[in-house]
Amino acid sequence: MSATRGRTSLRSAVVAGAAIAALGAGAASASAALSGDPGISAPAFRLNTSTLEPACYLGSHVTDLDRHIDLTYLGDDGQFAKELHVTVGDGAAFSVDQVLVPSQIDGYSVYNTFDTGTVDDDADIDPGQTAVDLFAPDSNGIDGPDALDKSGVIVCVSDHAAPQNEPYQQEAGGLVSAKNRPIVAPKVTALGVSAIGPLHTYKVGFGYAVEKWYTAPSFDGAGAFATVTDPNAAPSPTFGGNLPATVRMDPREDGAYDARRVNDVDSSAEDWAGVQADFGQSRVFKATGDLTAWSLSNNNDPDTLAHLITFTAEGDLPLTWTLRPSLASPDSKRSATIDFAYLANWNKQWQDYYDCKGPLPSLPLAPGTNSPASDDGNDCNAPVSAPAQAGPTSTTISTTTLIQNVSPAAASARSTSANVVRTTIRSARVVRAKSGRVLQVNVRSAKARVRIKITMYDARGHRMGQVTRTVAANRTVKVSGVRVGKKVKTVKVSLA
């Protein structure tokens, strides 16, 4: 049979698929889709037959509509069939690649290879073949396979000689997962301490990265079907259902794996106040990821900037955010945790930076927060605030700053002893503040305060002014009483 003929027959099955969905809804009338997980029905674990993966059907209704698949039940004592045989009739334009056999109690057995009489590991059921020994799962693990649910058998098909269409995989306890589900990994993306000194509280920011997104099915004839059938996915404005733009995960606890989505925040406070899943975290996740998705605030409102200064105390750690989409495999669950060890390491990175023993920590400060306080106050780098680190409101501007460390007085007083700290200007820069352009300097010295000379020049090199000031040593400070005018293009700083 030609590929064209096979593809045409598969396309005609799409029309039948609409009828299958309608019939499937009736067959599952005793169940209901779970809130937040419309691809799953309850109370027994069942897939929603109107949102099955591409080219997957209720086998009982394919029999009625297509006449190429025959389901035979052995050991049938009224409603208690134990074994299923699946026959694909001669002349069928497709092969059966996967069969899901449901228990009347709970869950499915997933079959990707079949005993077709000649071999017991046939990759598919071709026209003229019958697969035998298909059983439901053993839900209690004691008395063998459960009676199977004859109305709920699912078959997944593809064109002949095409890649296999096996979109589901077996999970423990008779559960199944859909292979075509994203992996969304939360991350700690910002951290800082309260800008109000006495509070001694913290603010943490969470974001997420996408390790895996939806893909198009590879089996031949896939163009006849919807590319992605996850009901929790939203179509892209540009590519529609072929490339979803987002996936939804409403807040839900991370309990025993039952195939439902997980979007859970865990805090140590839950040990005292009871379990809580909804902390106001993000619910809709983009294919591109978002490193500023959500920041935990003390009123659980991520959009209220007035409450960003505090999030928790050290005793509320550990704090964990866990994500897994609906019907995703358990090994796709991802978590991000900030615990006391994380906090201690973060603080050490800052202390090393203050002491010039390490680089500026790469983790950004959360909005409205500061870096931790120095542990000894004897630093060559000063603590910073989130705006200064991020750069939007306190930035170095184009004015040139020159440093001349040795003044005549300083040179004559210089000691030859290696143990004496030499007074030097470590840094000087012009930054933009609310009051205008100001000068920041960092002078290293054995003295607590040092006198410096500041000379300003215009664009032509003409001196516009000269002042001397006394500044605190061994930390970055703003030089008080000095404002750098708009016409100043060069600032020279030297020891007085």
Q: Could you state, in order of their start, the residue ranges of all structural domains in the chain?
A: 3-178, 183-341, 400-495
Share of the chain above pLDDT 70, in %: 77
Residue 240 confidence class, pLDDT cut points 50, 70, 90: low
Q: Note the pLDDT tens digit of each residue in 163-220.
A: 889 999 999 999 999 999 999 999 999 998 877 666 678 888 899 999 999 988 777 6
**Residue entry with tokens 């039940």:** 73
The yes-or-no verdict on residue 402 having pLDDT over 70 is no
* Bigger pLDDT: 123 vs 242: 123
The yes-or-no verdict on residue 6 having pLDDT over 60 is no
How far, in Å, CA of 328 to CA of 181, rounded?
6
Residue 305 has a pLDDT of 42
Q: State mean pLDDT over 314-321.
A: 85
How far, in Å, CA of 37 to CA of 27, rounded?
19
Residue 76 confidence class, pLDDT cut points 50, 70, 90: low
Nearest CA to 407 out of 420, 394, 424, 390 is that of 424
Residue ranges with strand state E in 17-137 = 32-34, 37-42, 46-47, 56-58, 69-74, 83-88, 94-102, 108-111, 130-135
Q: State mean pLDDT over 428-436.
A: 79
Residue 438 confidence class, pLDDT cut points 50, 70, 90: confident
Asked which of 134-138, 260-264, 489-493 is least confident by mean pLDDT, the reply is 489-493
Q: Kindly tell me the sign of the dihedral angle through the C-alpha atoms of 483, 489, 495, 496.
A: negative
* Bigger pLDDT: 53 vs 18: 53
The Cα-based distances of 444 to 32, 303, 310, 409 in angstroms read: 71, 42, 34, 17
**Do strands 400-404 and 490-495 pair parallel, antiparallel, or not at all (unpaired)?**
parallel
pTM: 0.71
The one-character DSSP state at 53 is P
Residue 427 has a pLDDT of 82
| Per-residue burial over 472-482, b = 16 or more CB atoms within 10 Å of its CB, e = otherwise | bbbbbeebeeb
Q: Note the pLDDT tens digit of each residue in 439-485.
A: 888 888 888 899 999 998 887 778 888 899 999 988 888 898 888 88
CATH of domain 400-495: 2.60.40
Residue 116 has a pLDDT of 93
The yes-or-no verdict on residue 132 having pLDDT over 50 is yes
Q: State mean pLDDT over 389-395.
A: 33
Query: CB-based burial of residue 462 (10 Å sphere; 0-12 exposed, 13-18 middle, 19+ buried)?
Result: exposed
Nearest CA to 134 out of 143, 125, 49 is that of 125
- Pair 74, 62: CB distance under 8 Å: no
- Pair 464, 484: CB distance under 8 Å: no
Asked which of 127-141, 153-167, 367-381 is least confident by mean pLDDT, the reply is 367-381
Q: Note the pLDDT tens digit of each residue in 136-150.
A: 999 877 778 999 998
Mean of per-residue pLDDT scores for the chain = 79
Residue 321 has a pLDDT of 92
Nearest CA to 410 out of 421, 423, 420 is that of 423
